Amino acid sequence: MEQDQQEIVEQLEQLRSKMIEMAKQHGMDHPLVLKYSQEIDLMHTELLKASHQELTVVSTY
């Protein structure tokens, strides 16, 4: 896994922890929980795209 992808994974884990903590404190429908969830979704999509591009490049050789 490239360093950029590893950084994204680490950021995802940090956001996930924050989201869980906010959900425990404020409930699942709190705006901060939803904000973290959306950020996680975006980062996850970014990670999947990067992984897909990496696989595509490797498979063309």
Residue labelled with tokens 């922890």: 17
CA 49 – CA 33 distance, rounded (Å): 24
The sign of the CA dihedral 25, 28, 30, 36 is positive
> Where do the structural domains in the chain lie, given as residue ranges?
3-59
Q: In sequence order, which ranges of 1-61 are alpha helices (DSSP H)? A: 3-26, 31-59
Decide if pLDDT at 57 tops 90. Answer: no
The tens digit of pLDDT for each residue in 8-52 reads 889 999 999 999 999 999 999 999 999 999 999 999 998 888 777
3-59 — its CATH code? 4.10.280
> What is the pTM (predicted TM-score) of this model?
0.75
